[in-house]
Chains A and B, each alone.
Chain A
């Protein structure tokens, strides 16, 4: 939304100052793309683009190394199509500073086409920490880190960003004297924490919204008054997209030309961006010239929007969104890809939540070494037979309850004197499996049948998702394709062939 609104405003500014065109001509120019491996890549968050410092400079997360991606940007990022630009639009609410809306916008200035894709804020990303939502990965609005996770999720490293406070949208709507909008259903939500004092109360149907009401539309997630209605993140993103489109149309009205002063002030106060004013005006000119408002398409990322995964910190299930790789790649390459080369699965790091509650990454390397062993060992803990120790290993209160201490014969009867095993240890490195052959820390199911028969869980496969990626980390060994009904030994085969072709 920020971009469009910014673009519109910048365009209006531009129109109004045509008399000063000589001055403007020196400013209004196509932007130089930041060096993707340079300061703007976010590899050094402290040194990223100048506009990037305001909300993040005190971000305590900067000190947390495991939220950073320590790797070079892939080569294809620097081979971007001429005249195509990508923007990350972040919406955040004032009071908690957490990103509420994440949108990638691809603007083809050759044709005027604008494609925008909303990334669900609950999208699961490959973090080593317990909570793995993309918006929590980026901390209190750390843009560089968000850009990196956007690239890991859809393969596109945004060139620029615009961060919008919802308050700015409200002020902007007020500045244009409100906006006409068809509220799709009765929205009624009262925040249960009275201190937050946040209330949404809108009737269904066409109405003229003031700034405050417009913010309610954008921030709505669910009803909790007069029955609950919670269609989830995906419905909310559609709502936001619909509203942005409506606003873009209304902002383009010529009568708003007199409001430029008010707009400029609001932007100065509320929008944080690494675009220069000159660049903005240039984009706005292009958008007006090419009639982009009628070439604007919104996309939702294909995925499962109602996944749940266990949180060992909160001790309950947390909701996540996981994306469907093949459909996602089709969407990206057909509509969003700004690069000359196709984006393929190998460029992404997509997470999946398996039927047994374990998680896996499409790279084969799971950053969190604890999640899967906790999930697989949860039952005895729930039953009160065991607890987790410091390393999240299972400790039975009564050793006799430990199935690893009972080696069963082929009829399922305990054998005396069986040797306990630690086949479920996903960290691998700590105890590389005693007498087992060294297989990079993973358990070889064919190695010693007597060891695997006693396990509660079936034997682990060292490489459940054969992947061209080199050297999978041992922690993915605990994912067990045999117990996953959705397991497909090589789901990316088609994609690889297409890429090879």
Chain B
């Protein structure tokens, strides 16, 4: 899978579990450390975990395994790191607090399929 396909597959998986405000940001021109950030909001810790599980499952079915799955702030922010693609699932508060979209505002936002 290309990084772009992975990012889109992740976005699709998030959408299938009713993730809110899903964004795919291309940062290839801003950094070499990642190509895409996929950002999504979940309403509760349970949903955040379910969203991440869905991404992990869908991508694993296509042969991609996450390098890291990390929970921050007691599960209000969970990230899946695939190297070139990083999936961040936040609750509302944490998403505003870390404001990744703003941090990577020079990146190009992709249409979510």
Contact yes or no, A96 B72, CB < 8 A: no
Contact yes or no, B34 A315, CB < 8 A: yes
Instruction: Bits for B74-100, please: 1 = Cβ < 8 Å to A, else 0.
Output: 111001010100101000010011111
Contact yes or no, A383 B32, CB < 8 A: yes
Task: Report which of B33, B45, B73, B98 forms a contact with A315, defined as CB distance below 8 A.
Answer: B33
**Shortest distance between the CB of B107 and any CB in chain A (Å):** 11
Size class of the B contact interface (CB-based, 8 Å): 20 to 34
Q: Give the docked Cα–Cα distance between A384 and B83 (Å).
A: 11
Task: Report which of B67, B86, B97, B103 forms a contact with A387, defined as CB distance below 8 A.
Answer: B67
Residues in A with CB closer than 8 Å to B72 are 129-131, 313
One of A14-22, A54-62, A347-355 at the interface: A54-62
Q: Given known contacts A60-B75, A315-B86, is B96 in contact with A196 (CB within 8 Å)?
A: yes
Residues in A with CB closer than 8 Å to B60 are none
B62 sits at the interface (CB 8 A): no
Determine the main DSSP class of A at the interface with B. Answer: loop
**Shortest distance between the CB of B105 and any CB in chain A (Å):** 7
**Shortest distance between the CB of A390 and any CB in chain B (Å):** 6
Size class of the A contact interface (CB-based, 8 Å): 20 to 34
**Shortest distance between the CB of A299 and any CB in chain B (Å):** 27
List residues 115-142 of chain A with CB under 8 A from any CB of chain B: 129-131, 136, 139-140
Contact yes or no, B74 A313, CB < 8 A: no
Q: Give the docked Cα–Cα distance between A136 and B99 (Å).
A: 14
Determine the main DSSP class of B at the interface with A. Answer: mixed
Contact yes or no, B74 A390, CB < 8 A: no
Residues in A with CB closer than 8 Å to B103 are 314, 316
Residues in A with CB closer than 8 Å to B98 are 131, 314
A70 sits at the interface (CB 8 A): no
A382: nearest residue on chain B (CB-CB)?
Answer: B32
Q: Give the docked Cα–Cα distance between A97 and B45 (Å).
A: 17
B64 sits at the interface (CB 8 A): no
List residues 38-71 of chain B with CB under 8 A from any CB of chain A: 45, 67-68, 70
Which of B73, B76, B100, B105 has its CB near the most chain A CB atoms (within 10 A)?
B73
Q: Return the 8 tightest CB-CB contacts between A and B, nearest first.
A: A60-B74, A61-B74, A64-B74, A315-B33, A382-B32, A315-B34, A96-B96, A387-B83
B interface residues, Cβ below 8 angstroms from A: 31-34, 45, 67-68, 70, 72-76, 79, 81, 83, 86, 88, 93, 96-105
A interface residues, Cβ below 8 angstroms from B: 59-64, 95-98, 129-131, 136, 139-140, 192-193, 196, 313-316, 378, 381-384, 387-390, 392
User: Can you give 16 contacting A-B residue pairs, CB < 8 Å?
Assistant: A60-B74, A63-B75, A96-B96, A97-B93, A129-B72, A130-B72, A136-B73, A313-B88, A314-B100, A316-B31, A316-B33, A316-B103, A383-B32, A384-B32, A387-B67, A388-B68
